[in-house]
Amino acid sequence: MPSPDAAGEAERIVKICAACMYCDGLCPVFPALTGRNDDIAQLANLCHNCRACWYACQYAPPHPLAVNAPATFSRARMETYADHVWPRALRHVFVRPALGAGLMLAATLLTFALLTAMAGAPRSGPGAFYALIPWGAMATLATAALAWATLSLTVSTRRYWRTISAGLSPSPLKPALRRALSDIITLRHLDGGGPGCHDSGLPFSRRRKIFHHLMAGSMVLAVAATLAAAVFEHFLGAKPPFPLTSLPVLLGLAGGVGIVVGAAGLLAVEARMDRDPSDPGETRLNVSFLIALELVTLSGLALLVFRETPAMSPLLLAHLSLVIGFFVGLPASKAIHAPFRAAALLRAALERDVFPRKRITL
């Protein structure tokens, strides 16, 4: 008896789960359910799509109650992105994820055209990058793209937080922050209550968690590489490209390789995963983000490898364009899941301090 509209279906599922509660040990979504006016927007992002409750559900299809909690939350999650993303026009991306890939692509091509138009004559050795693209242009474009992404994601997250924190009674922030942070770092809720999540059907695995963290941790390294490069440039007077054994290059290399492997691993997991317990739109959002990230990183690594060759100048142009395009499209990509999920975890942690243990007898 599934309901055709998304909100109605989410409410139907949540009521059944609240009455059942067999999955209450699998993740924090179920203990948070009351079955009465539950905040689907919060629960949707609390769910990590580990799929444990799909394989464990006694009411999964072909049962007439047709419960599919992960797909329901996945769909509702896409709606929270669409409903809260700023600027509002970006909401269409979460209805049709192909638009998001299109946005990244368009921004990349536009940047490429712009950079090609202003590119100088290629040369090699220190300062070669800036000889091709003047530092000012590179810095302006990069800063603008980064600022845009940060602003948009911040405003979107604030809008989401306002929705889910309505009616939250004041409680101590510090322990909750600590708990939420620990949940984020350990990805505890991808564990299906202990044994791991279901990447490729019934068997438990931790592959998704490992690849996710390899990728996310490597992104941190990549950011560190950029910061190190800035320090080298402004305080040590060095000019890129830096020597292979320099800190920025080593950090960038490690980060780049980590991202390529992590994202490839996640793509392989996506390719094998059961389709039923996810919203198809969210799968597309995941896949297009991973591919974009691979392109950005691979172009960066290629630049590193071929920087002493004539391929340097097209590679630099391509890499820069991909980076800018990536950041332009970031606010309307899978990236939005990170701050939204962090917000949902924080609210869950805050709530746990208010009601330390609810117990219901079934």
Partner 1 sequence: MALRGGNARHARNFRIAHDAPLWHTPGAYPAAEFSAELAKISGDRPEETLAGALIEESAQVASWLMGCGVRLQAPDRGVLPYSRRTAFLLGGGKAMINALYATAARIGVAIAYDSEVLALTPTRDGGWEAEIATGGATRRLNARAVVLASGGPGADPAWRRAHFGGNADDILIRGSSYSNGRLMQRLVESGAQTVGDPSSCHMVAVDARGPAVDGGIVTRITAIPQGLVVDRHAGTVEIAGAAPGKSHYAQWGPRIAQCDGGLAFLILDADGVSRSLPTALAPIAAPTLETLADALALDGAALASSVAAFNQGARAIVRPPFSAFPMRAGLTFVHFGLAVDADMRVAENLFAAGMIATPNFFTRFYLAGLGLTLSAVTGRRAGEAAARALA
User: In the complex, which residues of this chain contact ligand SF4 (CB under 6 A)?
Assistant: 16-17, 20-23, 26-27, 29-30, 47-53, 56-59, 67, 69-70, 73, 189
Partner whose footprint covers residue 47, from partner 1, ligand SF4, none (CB < 5 to 8 Å by kind): ligand SF4
**For residues 28 and 331, which CB has a smaller minimum distance to partner 1 in the complex?**
28
The terminus-to-terminus CA distance of the chain in angstroms comes to 24
Closest C-alpha to 332, from 75, 72, 89, 6: 89
**For residues 31 and 262, which CB has a smaller minimum distance to partner 1 in the complex?**
31
Q: Which residues, 6+ apart, have CB-to-CB distance to 112 below 8 Å? A: 317, 318, 321
Give the 3-state secondary structure of residue 328: helix
C-beta of 336: minimal distance to ligand SF4 in Å? 18
The window from 58-66, 154-162, 228-236, 266-274 that contacts partner 1 (CB under 8 A) reads 58-66
Residue 66 is a binding residue for partner 1 (CB under 8 A): no
Per-residue x/- marks for partner 1, 7-46, CB under 8 A? --------xx-xxxxxxxxx---xx-xxxx----------
For 35-80, the DSSP string reads SSS--HHHHHHH-----HHHHT-TT-TTSTT---HHHHHHHHHHHH
What does the block give as tokens for 310? Answer: 């004539």
What does the block give as tokens for 161? Answer: 């937080």
Alpha carbon distance 139, 151 (integer Å): 18
* Cα 303–Cα 307–Cα 313 angle in degrees, nearest 5: 80
Residue 324 is a binding residue for partner 1 (CB under 8 A): no
* Cα 264–Cα 265–Cα 267 angle in degrees, nearest 5: 65
Is the bond preceding 248 in cis, omega lying within 30 degrees of 0?
no
C-beta of 204: minimal distance to partner 1 in Å? 9
**For residues 189 and 209, which CB has a smaller minimum distance to ligand SF4 in the complex?**
189
C-beta of 193: minimal distance to ligand SF4 in Å? 7
**For residues 276 and 308, which CB has a smaller minimum distance to partner 1 in the complex?**
276
**For residues 179 and 319, which CB has a smaller minimum distance to partner 1 in the complex?**
179
**Helices 69-84 and 135-165, packing angle to 10 deg:** 120
C-beta of 287: minimal distance to partner 1 in Å? 27
Q: Which of 4, 5, 62, 236 binds partner 1 (CB under 8 A)?
A: 62
Residue 122 is a binding residue for partner 1 (CB under 8 A): no
Residues that bind partner 1 (CB under 8 A): 15-16, 18-26, 30-31, 33-36, 52-53, 55-65, 192-195, 202-203, 357-362
